[in-house]
């Protein structure tokens, strides 16, 4: 799998949870964050697909780019 580089800042609370999960699972921070973000992205992809079907069923057309 091809990966993209991402660096960002997180809150101290988030870091504490990330560190606790890392220590309890043995997974490094990057792997945990990668998994969480991937699941979040897939959930939003599903929601987008559902919304498109609902809009179509209601006869609502979206213009490209909206």
What is the C-alpha separation between 4 and 11, in angstroms, rounded? 22
The total domain count for the chain is: 1
Within a domain: residue 12? Answer: no
Whether 65 maps to a domain, the answer reads: no
**In the predicted model, is pLDDT for residue 62 greater than 70?**
yes
Q: Given a cut of 80, is residue 1 above it in pLDDT?
A: no
The answer to whether position 42 is within a domain reads yes
Domain assignment present for residue 47? The answer is yes
Length of the chain: 66
- The Cα–Cα gap between 22 and 27 comes to 5
| pLDDT tens profile 2-43 | 999 999 999 999 999 999 999 999 999 999 999 999 999 999
The pLDDT score that the predictor gives to residue 15 is: 97
Give the C-alpha separation, 31 to 45, whole Å: 21
Whole domain around residue 45: which residue ranges?
28-60
Would 9 be classed as within a structural domain? no
What is the distance between the alpha carbons of residues 30 and 7, in angstroms, rounded to a whole number? 10
Would you say residue 2 lies in a domain?
Answer: no
């Amino acid at each position: 799998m091809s990966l993209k580089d991402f660096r960002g800042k997180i809150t101290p609370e988030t870091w504490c949870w990330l560190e606790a999960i890392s220590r309890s699972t043995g997974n490094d921070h990057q792997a945990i964050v990668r998994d969480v973000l991937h699941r979040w992205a897939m959930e939003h992809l599903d929601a987008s697909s559902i919304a498109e079907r609902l809009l179509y069923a209601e006869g609502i057309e979206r213009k490209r780019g909206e």
